[in-house]
Amino acid sequence: MSEIDELQRRINAALDRIGRGLEAGAGTAVDPAELAEAKQALADEKLANEQLEERVKALRDKRNALEEELEALREQNAQSLSRLDGELQSLRRANQQLRDNNAALREANAAGVGEAHLINKSMMAELESLRANRAADRAETSAILSELTAVLESAETPDTPTSEDA
């Protein structure tokens, strides 16, 4: 972008010089060859300026499209993380209820009203629930880590000009 700004500044300066030259030469006799050369230079500079403006417009459009795409991805990630969080909260509530039920079952067994095989099944279910909870925690951590990695990589990557930008 700085190259484009520099070229545009140079074009405008050339246009100003040509304009001043034409104004200064208005009262004197003007060599037709010089006048034709100045007009051609002016036309060339105007064409170059138009081309640069088109390139700037194309770059801005491209940047806007990329920003929109990035925003859509951010929204999608936010929704995914929100959905994951809801599922994890539901899993945690179910696990807590299972642990509470198992505690009540153990108390009933201590009082002599429970059956040992039901307690074993209950304990196995609680262990499986804890394993699932741990796996969910790992998945959540992995999702957060991948999001942070993507953010850090995009922050570390400077905008490099493409072949269109050069």
pLDDT in tens, 27-74: 566 678 887 888 888 888 889 889 999 999 999 999 999 999 888 888
pLDDT number for residue 53: 92
Q: Is 118 within a domain?
A: yes
Q: Is 162 within a domain?
A: no
Q: Is 9 within a domain?
A: yes
Number of domains, the chain = 1
Per-residue pLDDT at 102 exceeds 90: no
pLDDT number for residue 163: 47
Per-residue pLDDT at 125 exceeds 90: no
pLDDT number for residue 166: 43
Alpha-helical regions (H) of the chain: 2-24, 32-110, 116-156
Q: Is 8 within a domain?
A: yes
Per-residue pLDDT at 92 exceeds 60: yes
Instruction: Report the distance separating Cα 19 and Cα 4, nearest Å.
Output: 22
Q: Is 165 within a domain?
A: no
pLDDT number for residue 104: 81
Q: Is 134 within a domain?
A: yes
Q: Is 51 within a domain?
A: yes
pLDDT number for residue 135: 83
Average pLDDT of the residues in 100-105:
82
Residue 94 to residues 42, 89, 132: CA-CA distances in angstroms?
Answer: 77, 9, 11
Q: Is 166 within a domain?
A: no
Q: Report CA dihedral (140, 142, 147, 150) to the nearest 10 degrees.
A: 180
Range of the domain at 16: 2-156
pLDDT number for residue 84: 81
Percent of residues, the chain, with pLDDT higher than 70: 87
Per-residue pLDDT at 162 exceeds 60: no
